[in-house]
Amino acid sequence: MYKKIITGAVATAVAVATFVSTAHAEDTLYIPALSYRTGAFAGGGTPFANGFMDYLAMLNARDGGIGGVKIVNEECETAYNAQKGVECYEATKGNGALVYNPLSTGITLQLIPKAPVDEIPVLSMGYGLSAAGIGEKFPWTFTYPTSYWSQMSSILKYIDSNGGLKGQKIGFIYLDVGYGREPIPLLEKLAPQLGFEVAMFPVAGKEMQAQSAQWLNVRKERPDWMIMWGWGSMNPTAIKEAAKIRYPMDRFIGNWWSSAHADLVPVGEAGKGYVGANFSGIGTDFQALQDVIKYVIEPGNTRTDPSKVGDVLYNRGLYNAVIVAEAVETAQKMTGKSAISGADMRLGLENFNLDATRLAELGLAGFAGDLKGDCVDHEGGGPVFMQQWDGENWVKITDPIAPMSDVVRPLLEAAADAYVADKPEWKTQTCN
């Protein structure tokens, strides 16, 4: 009996060891996807991962990869857990990973110091450390197309254009972890400048489905506007509670992680009027998405539920893949190599140009605002637009709103300086 167990264990160990040691073939573009389809935030992680992977799979099926080189897209499950994130990073980086998209602020924070050492850039698309938008201080980290602070300033601008900010009371309800707390310094800084008042309503991570206390407080404080930085099952719960206390929905604004189909479909009609920020297109009326459907969804080479293609988070994951693919292509052109390295990828990320014509070429006309890679500006300063829930679907209601870069940029620079201060060997770069 024991003998059998031991023989079995040894055999498995040998099999695993031989498998691990087989190196990846040359001439592929290895792009790991640190995703989470389990754990408390699986509801957000799953559609994002689907969009990201399906687009890369479509490029493989339609164009044979990028620049004639196949993309190897390996998924590693992190369960939104920082320890598993590190493990996934270590397991995949040796295969020649080009870029990491951790989709978790916690994991991003761990990867930022590792990126320059291992020379693999980190693209934390619209999440992670806001200060990483300063390219001179963070050569290896990118937050394209925009950061939390810029986004908050765009939302404030939207409020300003809908009846003015001055003298208003803004309620800020947030997931009480690093991610949700990120924009607080900006709010505190801008409140006296622009003459509004802020009321904070933190929601503890494990209490995110029991928010009646927070919304009772909202009723007590009577803010004129509510802004939400939520994620996962916190979002539908919050919107339901808001509907319960009869908070006017068109004065409730979610950030881009709080305004997806996964958040509003469970709420349905009760969420009508809810406003959300977004930076990627909605729906499947784009040639590239039709290609995804044709080459990936219909043949069944995917884990996506076909009815969810074109949802907000799906499209955002897809947009993330678009930026990655574009950077790869740029890097290939700049270096003349077809199989690029992490360092080449960094160049690509600093030099790509996703303007309207290029987007149209990709079959994504009007999918997102112009985005140009830059050495100084790793944030992209991409404007966000507002969308509104009509009870069944999201409808775009504004043109892109530019962030208050004049206010945000100095704050970002100060934060970047503070980050670098206690790291004597931190590698910075000078542009031009």
Residues within window 34-73 making contact with another protein, judged by CB under 8 A: 37-40, 42-43, 46
Q: How far is the CB of 415 from another protein (least distance, A)?
A: 6
Beta-bridge mates of residue 175: 203
Q: Is residue 419 a contact point for another protein (CB under 8 A)?
A: yes
Candidates 66, 69, 98, 112; binder of another protein (CB under 8 A) is 112
Q: According to CB under 8 A, which residues from 254 to 283 bind another protein?
A: 262, 265-266
Contact region with another protein (CB under 8 A), list: 84-92, 250-258, 284-292, 386-394: 84-92
Q: How far is the CB of 40 from another protein (least distance, A)?
A: 4
CB-based contacts of 337: which residues, under 8 Å, 6+ apart? 344
Contact region with another protein (CB under 8 A), list: 91-99, 164-172, 365-373, 388-396: 91-99
CA distance 186 to 200: 13
Closest CA relative to residue 125, chosen from 100, 137, 113, 142? 142
DSSP string, 321-369: HHHHHHHHHHHHHHH--SS--HHHHHHHHHH-EE-HHHHHHTT-TTSS-
Q: Is residue 429 a contact point for another protein (CB under 8 A)?
A: no
CA distance 245 to 215: 7
Q: Is residue 417 a contact point for another protein (CB under 8 A)?
A: no
Q: Is residue 246 a contact point for another protein (CB under 8 A)?
A: yes
Q: Which two tokens stand for residue 247?
A: 């908070």
Q: According to CB under 8 A, which residues from 317 to 336 bind another protein?
A: none
First to last CA, the chain: 69
H or E segment to which residue 225 belongs: strand 225-229
H or E segment to which residue 129 belongs: none
Q: Judged by CB, which is closer to another protein: 219, or 294? A: 219
Q: How far is the CB of 90 from another protein (least distance, A)?
A: 4
Q: How far is the CB of 102 from another protein (least distance, A)?
A: 12
Please classify residue 405 by burial: count the beta carbons closer than 10 Å to its beta carbon, then call 0-12 exposed, 13-18 middle and 19+ buried.
Answer: middle
Instruction: Measure Cα distances from 41 to 74, 129, 155, 298 in Å.
Output: 20, 19, 24, 28
For strands 371-372 and 353-354, give the pairing: antiparallel
Q: Is residue 7 a contact point for another protein (CB under 8 A)?
A: no
CA distance 156 to 183: 12
Q: Is residue 24 a contact point for another protein (CB under 8 A)?
A: no
Q: Judged by CB, which is closer to another protein: 371, or 378? A: 378
Q: Judged by CB, which is closer to another protein: 192, or 421? A: 421
Q: According to CB under 8 A, which residues from 222 to 241 bind another protein?
A: 232-233, 236-237, 240
Contact region with another protein (CB under 8 A), list: 81-89, 351-359, 374-382, 392-400: 81-89
Q: How far is the CB of 21 from another protein (least distance, A)?
A: 5
Beta-bridge mates of residue 329: none
Q: Is residue 181 a contact point for another protein (CB under 8 A)?
A: yes
Q: Is residue 17 a contact point for another protein (CB under 8 A)?
A: yes
Q: Judged by CB, which is closer to another protein: 75, or 329? A: 75
